[in-house]
Amino acid sequence: MMKTTKKRAVPLHEDPIRHIVWKGDRLDVIDQRLLPRRVRYVSCRTAKEVAKATTDMVLRGAPLIGCAAAFGMALAARSGRLKDVLSAEPLLRRARPTAVNLMHALDLMLAVAESGPKETLARRMADAAEKYCRDDIAYNARMAELGAALLKPGSRVITHCNAGALATAGIGTAVGMIRAGYLAGKVAHVYPCETRPYLQGSRLTLWELMQAGIPATLITDNMAAHLMKTVKIDAVIVGSDRIAANADVCNKIGTYGLAILAKHHAVPFYVVAPSTTVDFSTASGDLIPIEERSAREVVEVFGVPIAPKGAKARHFAFDVTPHELVTAIVTEKGVVSPADGQTLRKVVESEC
Amino acid sequence: MMKTTKKRAVPLHEDPIRHIVWKGDRLDVIDQRLLPRRVRYVSCRTAKEVAKATTDMVLRGAPLIGCAAAFGMALAARSGRLKDVLSAEPLLRRARPTAVNLMHALDLMLAVAESGPKETLARRMADAAEKYCRDDIAYNARMAELGAALLKPGSRVITHCNAGALATAGIGTAVGMIRAGYLAGKVAHVYPCETRPYLQGSRLTLWELMQAGIPATLITDNMAAHLMKTVKIDAVIVGSDRIAANADVCNKIGTYGLAILAKHHAVPFYVVAPSTTVDFSTASGDLIPIEERSAREVVEVFGVPIAPKGAKARHFAFDVTPHELVTAIVTEKGVVSPADGQTLRKVVESEC
């Protein structure tokens, strides 16, 4: 037998991470704030608890926020009363401001709630939430396939934040494309940026990649330019929290800078996101409000102060990448390239 | 009396930070690894101890590394034996690989050692080391004056790493220019990048700016592009560890990326460094070896793990910014603009 020290890559259909589990009367989610140091589940029995888990970042990632909200609505419907669903909806809608998947999931669930008699309300809503998640899983798989086809063999790729399994119900958006790419020989090595201040890259993406048996080396966010120049990078692959009608991409803080660096080094810049991330009601990226989170997350790391007492800090959680810097947007309905408003509408509104 | 909540800016000649203190028989330096949480001094009584403090990052910053090495040579000379000086020199030279100020200081001290009788060796060397530091202080003041003149009134500036008092014997290079600029109404607000992995920006530069009464707000490294686009930034000001003959600039990891972002947003990019930072023996930046430090500094913050067990990481400590991306290099001999090899040589070789 051949000896190998290389870890076997995990096939796409075998996913070791069960981070969102529907139990009929509750939703169990992994507390992502504690990863990778501890795997602990939080149980949500009401829509309010789902909203709180979302606001507190127990769960994060735009597609996953949408899935959790759908289950939140299903929990509210368990009473069989439409008014409970209607009062749960604004709670969930306010939980996080950026991910448009959240708004999309709630609109869909509201329509389901109002589409039949109260006797079947609970059942209809639970079925719809489960279908919403199954769809997300299927979208992930399709995007992974379409995205991997864009890469050249043996690519070294940079990714940012966590657009992986933990951000979705399936294998992830950007990380799904990377995993499919690795299995197809398209991806040779991954450099996840640590993604300060919340460290989604070092805590979540690197953990997922290691679990999936993909060769990965962590870098700090400020090393990306040096890598593009010296190690040579063949692609940058990220997810998105909201895509405007003109194809501008809102994503984790640092994405815009990476896109500029990629352009400077002629490195293709790919965004992977389901069509539910597209917000045609927002004309361009500069109209997307940028969520600011606590400055404490900048001046402390896991509770350890890294700045002087009394330090002021800003914590912009997202930024906007103008579509001119994006090589292609990979959706489950097809690849949007060039990344402009016209092509985006054509792909997203197509039947597939 | 008018009430004000604004902290008074500290004049340039009043410096509250005594981080390198020559005692004749020893050199006391603040342990910068513990800042800003604790102010503790490390006493070096031998050249070997100075070399170890340099390697271990008790002290850092290219000009300061040069000053400390000069005192290290003076300590070796206390025996009155030239051979002790000659054997101390390679120890100090190997302490850190990038800062060419170190090589410059050692060359100068060797020449002093060999220029007179053994009876006066100890005295000559102590005097030369003290003069080297006084010169550094004077260079800082001159660069601050020349640099501040380049800024437009009310500028919002980004700086990276620590090119402040703690990196020199005086008021600092980049931070000196910022402080002089603030006192002249040229600087309105400073955004230090935290500078992962070693956090010189959040730990050292922000601390210095707060001590000096300069309004400053900490950002993570990956927020710079978003700030340039939204808050608007008027200048990026950094130091350097080595400048090649063609004016390429080696500095803390992340500098190269910042320079690309500055160019993309048409923001002037200034490098502030004494002429002792220029290495005419290195033709271009890509010939400067890039120091890699422990990956532990990437996967841990103050000993707290931020990545999964067994995580791989790279820790490039520096990068190289091609001179085309530099608006001007401010030296004590004058401003190098355009930043090219010919102008650099003309300014640095001028008598002033």
10 Å CB burial of residue A136 (0-12, 13-18, 19+) is buried
> Lowest-confidence range among A341-350, B32-41, B184-193?
B32-41
pLDDT at B4 over 70: no
Structurally, how many domains does chain A consist of? 2
Question: What SS3 state is found at A159?
Answer: strand
The pLDDT value given to residue B10: 84
For residue B166, which of B106, B209, B132, B129 has the smallest C-alpha distance?
A: B209
Tell me, yes or no, whether A10 lies in a domain: no
Query: d(Cα A282, Cα A65) in Å, to the nearest integer?
Result: 20
Query: Which residues of chain B does A202 touch, with a Cβ-Cβ cutoff of 8 Å?
Result: 299, 306-307, 311
**Boundary (domain end) residue, out of A105, A120, A139:** A139
A298 in the same domain as A174:
yes
**Boundary (domain end) residue, out of A139, A161, A180:** A139
pLDDT at A36 over 80: yes
Over residues A212-223, the mean pLDDT reads: 97
B276 in the same domain as B253:
yes
Cross-chain residue pair B254–A316, CB shorter than 8 Å: no
Task: Provide the CATH number for the domain around residue A78.
Answer: 1.20.120.420
Query: d(Cα B307, Cα A218) in Å, to the nearest integer?
Result: 9
Q: In this predicted model, what pLDDT tens digit does every residue of A248-298 receive, in sequence order?
A: 999 999 999 999 999 999 999 999 999 999 999 999 999 999 999 999 999
For residue B100, which of B271, B318, B316, B282 has the smallest C-alpha distance?
A: B282
Q: In this predicted model, what pLDDT tens digit does every residue of A187-203 receive, in sequence order?
A: 999 999 999 999 999 99
Chain A closest CA to B162's CA: distance in Å? 13
Strand order in the sheet with A242-244: A278-279, A242-244, A249-252, A318-321
B75 in the same domain as B112:
yes
Q: Report which secondary-structure segment, H or E, holds B71.
A: helix B62-76
Tell me, yes or no, whether B13 lies in a domain: no
Query: Which residues of chain B does A299 touch, with a Cβ-Cβ cutoff of 8 Å?
Result: 202, 218
Cross-chain residue pair A219–B313, CB shorter than 8 Å: yes
Of A234, A241, A248, A279, the active-site residue reads: A241
Q: In this predicted model, what pLDDT tens digit does every residue of B312-346 receive, in sequence order?
A: 999 999 999 999 999 999 999 999 999 999 999 99
User: Quick one: tokens of B4?
Assistant: 């004000």
Domain that holds residue A50: 20-139
Residue A6: pLDDT band (50, 70, 90) is: low
Task: Provide the CATH number for the domain around residue A157.
Answer: 3.40.50.10470
Question: What SS3 state is found at A187?
Answer: strand
Predicted ipTM? 0.94
Q: What is the dihedral of CA B54, B57, B59, B62, to 10 degrees?
A: 70
Cross-chain residue pair A202–B304, CB shorter than 8 Å: no
Of the candidates B216, B304, B319, the beta carbon closest to that of A304 is on B304
Tell me, yes or no, whether A3 lies in a domain: no
The pLDDT value given to residue A75: 98
Please count the other Cβ atoms lying within 10 Å of the Cβ belonging to residue A101: 30
**Boundary (domain end) residue, out of B139, B155, B174:** B139
Tell me, yes or no, whether B175 lies in a domain: yes
pLDDT at B2 over 50: no
Question: What SS3 state is found at B129?
Answer: helix
Active site residue B241: yes
Of the candidates B226, B253, B298, the beta carbon closest to that of A319 is on B226
